[in-house]
Amino acid sequence: MTDALIAITVLWGFVFIYAVMATMDFGAGFWSMVYFNREKTKATNIANRYLSPTWEVTNTFIVALVVAVYSLFPTAAYTLGTILLIPGSIILLLLALRSAFLVFSNIAAEYRKPLTYISGITGILIPGLLISVLPITHGQFIDYSTGFAQLDLQKLFASPNVYAFIGFGITSTLFLSSLLLADYSKVSKEMEAYRVYLRDAMIFGPVSLIMAFLIMYTLKIEVAWLYDRMMEDLSLLLVSLLFFLIGGAGLFLPSFFEKGIRGMPRISMVAVTAQYLIASYVYGKSHLPYIVYPSVTIEAAFTDPNSFRAVFITYIVGFAILFPGFIYFWSLFMHDKRYLQHKNPKEGTR
């Protein structure tokens, strides 16, 4: 494996981790808004209980991702920075409103409703915009006629493929987050909330899969090179589909472990994560060696070897130091029954 390949793998890992964490984060914010008026189900409480301690950590990953791009592939950062000025700025503006109003909604109890609506709506738009970065890197919307790379926004918004990606981003967000919250509410023994989120996952799972097929269909028309290369790994895509079906079985079948309860969300969670991991691997592999097609390849954009070595060492040292912190965090907020089964309805907010 060349250094550039190692670097792009690290970057892909960050993208994947952030994608999963962000869908849960933005999705939880959205569900917290949707179920705001249905206090009895505690669905909003569950979403907030997950969201309050985690959003800062999730947000750090997006910064980590951007930093990884410019420290591993500085030349790509130049092109990406130029073409993503408009979409990137819109994402940043929405993200600022979303994060701030999320915090505000937890502090100003009387105004919680309008504040939750602002953070919920801005939040659900973000994954749609974030994922639009992928079709932008396919290159067909980039105009080089002025001598500099420029994003052709008109062409971008006329492309069915882009809308398929956006739809996939948003529905996947709703799917993964309802799945996570179903699991979270089951562990928290909030069975009404559990049923609500289980139903949502059952709806949005198939919808997100339809969106994935739509992406492939429009990709075939618009970006044939990528489609053809993805189809070379058809067997892996089918394995991914199989994991989706296992995830679905985990939702619909009665639980093997507990009597009288429908669904095993933990199994679905793992299976669906595997589904996305495999699919994104196939996509990423087909995308190589291009970061931005066809002008920026990983080899050409790669950083100085000395810098790469130094950065790579900090990754190892940094995550070795952070790992116990993540474990402790997880044990306090994802595992501790005292937190999960909090009796006080006004808990968990600052």
Partner 1 sequence: MNDIFIARSLFGTTMAFHIIFATIGVGLPLMILTAELTYQKTKNLEYVVMAKRWTKAFAVLLGVGIPTGTIAGVQLSLLWPGFMEVIGRVMPLPFQIEIYAFFIEALFMSIYVYAAERIAPWMRIASLILVALGALASAVLITNVHAFQGTPAGFRYEDGKFVDIDPWAAFFNPSFFVTAMHVALSAYVVGAFVVASVAAFKMLKNKYGSKLYHFHQKALMISLIVGGIASFLTAINGHAAAQYLHEYQPEKLAAAEGLFETQSHAPLAIGGFTDRETESVKWAIEIPWALSFLAGNSFDTVVVGLNDFPEEFWPPLFVHTLFNAMVGIGSLLILIAIFGILWKRLLKKDRFPKAFLWLLVASGPLAVAAIEFGWIFACTGRQPWVIYRILSTAQAATTATDLGILFILFVGVYIILAISVVFVLLYYFRKNTVLDDLQRAEEKSVPLFSSNS
> What is the rounded CA–CA span in Å between residue 21 and residue 212?
19
DSSP letters for 235-252? HHHHHHHHHHHHHHHHHH
Q: How far is the CB of 284 from partner 1 (least distance, A)?
A: 21
Q: How far is the CB of 249 from partner 1 (least distance, A)?
A: 34
> What is the rounded CA–CA span in Å between residue 17 and residue 326?
14
For partner 1, give the closer residue by CB, 31 or 333: 333
**Quick one: tokens of 89?**
């700025």
> What is the rounded CA–CA span in Å between residue 175 and residue 177?
6
DSSP letters for 47-88? HHHHHHHHHHHHHHHHHHHHHHHHHH-HHHHHHHHHHTHHHH
Q: Are 42 and 193 in contact (CB under 8 A)?
A: yes
Per-residue CA distances from 86 to 92, 150, 151, 154, 170 (Å): 10, 10, 9, 12, 20
Instruction: At 132, give phi and psi (nearest 5°).
Output: -65, -15
For partner 1, give the closer residue by CB, 52 or 208: 52
For partner 1, give the closer residue by CB, 55 or 163: 55
> What is the rounded CA–CA span in Å between residue 305 and residue 325?
30
Q: How far is the CB of 301 from partner 1 (least distance, A)?
A: 10
Q: How many residues does the chain have?
A: 350
Q: How far is the CB of 126 from partner 1 (least distance, A)?
A: 11
For partner 1, give the closer residue by CB, 102 or 278: 102
For partner 1, give the closer residue by CB, 102 or 134: 102
Q: Torsion over CA of 20, 69, 166 and 147, rounded to 10 degrees?
A: 180
For partner 1, give the closer residue by CB, 56 or 258: 56
Exposed, middle or buried by CB within 10 Å (0-12, 13-18, 19+), for 151? middle
For partner 1, give the closer residue by CB, 98 or 287: 98
Q: How far is the CB of 271 from partner 1 (least distance, A)?
A: 28
Q: How far is the CB of 143 from partner 1 (least distance, A)?
A: 12
**Quick one: tokens of 248?**
């679905």
For partner 1, give the closer residue by CB, 102 or 198: 102
DSSP letters for 298-335? HHHH---HHHHHHHHHHHHHHHHHHHHHHHHHHIIIII
Q: How far is the CB of 226 from partner 1 (least distance, A)?
A: 25
Nearest to 212 by CA among 271, 172, 269: 172
Q: How far is the CB of 84 from partner 1 (least distance, A)?
A: 7
For partner 1, give the closer residue by CB, 229 or 342: 342
Q: How far is the CB of 292 from partner 1 (least distance, A)?
A: 13
